[in-house]
Structure 1
Amino acid sequence: MAANGTAGEADEFWLFGYGSLIWKPPPHFDRRIPGWVTGYVRRFWQVRERNIQDHRGTPEAPGRVVTLISRSFWEQLTDHHNSAPDKVWGVAYRIKPDRVAEVKEYLDIREINGYTIHYTPFHPAPGVDPSLLPRNHNRDHPIRTLVYIGTPDNDQFVGPQDPQELAEHIYRSTGPSGPNRDYLWGLEAALDELSPESGDKHVTDLSDRVRAIAAREERKQGPKHQPLSVLQREHQHHEQPHDFRRASSIDEQEETEKAP
């Protein structure tokens, strides 16, 4: 057992993903475990437009991505989404020991735009194959994981927003990596695949609002022949299985993330 009461081998490095890392895994992982952390709230309160791995907007209309907020701090704020699940679901990845330094460097580049390193206990979901867990793991001692968080004191943190205004912003924002709404819908779909209880009302409500905006905009355009409508692209995304294969190199992973 680690000194802080969490389980894990001394040479193991585990990473917790609660946003795009759920469906865009880091390179050189050899184990992927669904589960949750506690003590946080997930919110679309972080700006994202300059990171080389995930452009979801422009300087004029920066996209929005999720960050984790300490629940004790969140409880002091006025949030239009005034409830949040006790568990923040996501995925923990174990990085191969001989690749830890390389992956840390890769992640520092990927998450450098406003995110800082923290450590948090991770609870594997019930039914996870025991062979995937650290040898000394038991349900009373979670796994120590590294997590990147955009804390409220970083310049990219925007704080509480009106849900409809936020949904309109997400719908409008587009960057080199694609529409901001695809990130939102991708997160919703990835969370739904983890567990029957892994949904997040904040994410679902924003997704529903953006779908309604997309339908409204399509009605304005009229019955024009288009290759794929916004709603058709979103539906297609939900039908396609997520690719959770292990990337053999950082270059391969970066190419994967650039693919539509």
Structure 2
Amino acid sequence: MAEPDPSPPGTGFWLFGYGSLIWKPPPHYDARLPGYIEGYVRRFWQASEDHRGTPAAPGRVVTLIDRAHYAGLVDPHPEPADSLVWGAAYHIPAEHDAFVREYLDIREVNGYTIQYTDFHPSPSPTPNPAPIRTLVYIGLPSNPQFVGPQEPDALARHILRSMGPSGENREYLFELYAALEGLGPESGDGHVKDLVRRAGMLEGRGREEEQD
């Protein structure tokens, strides 16, 4: 059974962004908090046919994988059991609730569904705060755009050659890396960082081959 919405439509809500929402936020938010969630792994395992790729040549964007499901997968980038998923939470006020929900449903239409998770602000605005229950869009493993584990070099190459209506897939990767590094001293992501390293090496190698 799906969890009931902790903030019924029309009352305002908190949204957790872990991908492009970190550097390309939703409209009409009145608060933004850096922080993290637990119990998930962020991976470039979601195909993108509408933003960073096309139906004929899908790009790759991030989704979240529940730890219980992740435990049964073989990942070339194994994730430590105590790692956190950093991102940003946005508060959408009641007067803009309906508009932003519709905007997000259109933006996240390609395989993502609404879930809910506890968000921990960092640094905390108050001592010993209760977590904030946030809405989050996740491309579940059951959705048709979920591609699962991929060999890292092949994934980096795929990202470098992909492009869609929202721009180059490489821009998404590098913007996400910069946005995560800017959230806080512990906010980096090993999977994203390694893909940036591999993409940079592949681009450098390509430039060298062009000059030969």
- How well do the aligned residues superpose, as a CA RMSD in angstroms? 2.0
Q: Distance in 1 between matches of 2:164 and 2:87?
A: 25
Could you tell me how far apart the structure 2 residues matched to 1:73 and 1:60 are? 29
Larger of the two Rg values belongs to structure: 1
**One-letter code aligned to 2:66:** S
Which of 53, 56, 60 matches 2:56? 60
The separation in 2 between residues aligned to 1:139 and 1:107, in whole angstroms, is: 31
Q: 1:149-191 CA distances to partner (integer Å, 9 max, x unpaired)?
A: 0000000000011111101111111123221111000000000
- For this pair of structures, how many residues does the alignment match? 205
Overall identity of the aligned pairs, in %: 59
- State yes or no: 1:74 paired with 2:87: no
1:211 shift after superposition: 0.6
Q: How does 1:26-175 map to 2 (within 5 A)?
A: 26-50=26-50, 55-84=51-80, 86-128=83-125, 139-175=128-164
1:19 alignment partner AA: G
CA-CA distance at 1:49 after TM superposition: 1.6
Q: Tell me how far apart the structure 1 counterparts of residues 122 and 70 of structure 2 sit (CA, whole Å).
A: 25
Distance 2:76 2:11 in 1: 43
Question: Which amino acid is the alignment partner of residue 180 of structure 1?
Answer: N
Q: Distance in 2 between matches of 1:139 and 1:74?
A: 30
Q: Is the 8 A contact 2:47 2:61 kept in 1?
A: yes
Once residues 211 and 124 of structure 2 are traced to their aligned partners in structure 1, the CA distance between those partners, rounded to angstroms, is: 49
Counterpart code for 1:156: Q
Give the secondary-structure state (helix, strand or coil) at the position aligned to 2:141.
coil
Distance of 2:20 and 2:91 partners within structure 1: 17
**Cα distance in 2 between the residues matched to 1:222 and 1:177:** 30
Q: Is the partner of 1:92 in helix, strand or coil? A: strand
CA contact (8 A) 2:34 2:123 kept: no
Deviation at 1:58, TM superposition (A): 2.4
TM-score using structure 2 length: 0.91
**In 1, distance between residues paired with 2:77 and 2:92?**
35
With the length of structure 1 as denominator, give the TM-score of the two structures. 0.75
CA distance in 1 between partners of 2:56 and 2:201 (Å)? 24
For structure 2, the residue ranges without an aligned partner over 5 or more in a row are: none
Point out where structure 1 has 5 or more consecutive residues left out of the alignment. Answer: 131-137, 224-260
Report the 3-state secondary structure (helix = DSSP H, G, I; strand = E; otherwise coil) of the residue aligned with 1:64. strand
State the shift of 1:208 in Å.
0.4
Counterpart Cα distance in 2 of 1:218 and 1:174: 19
CA distance in 1, matches of 2:111, 2:55: 15
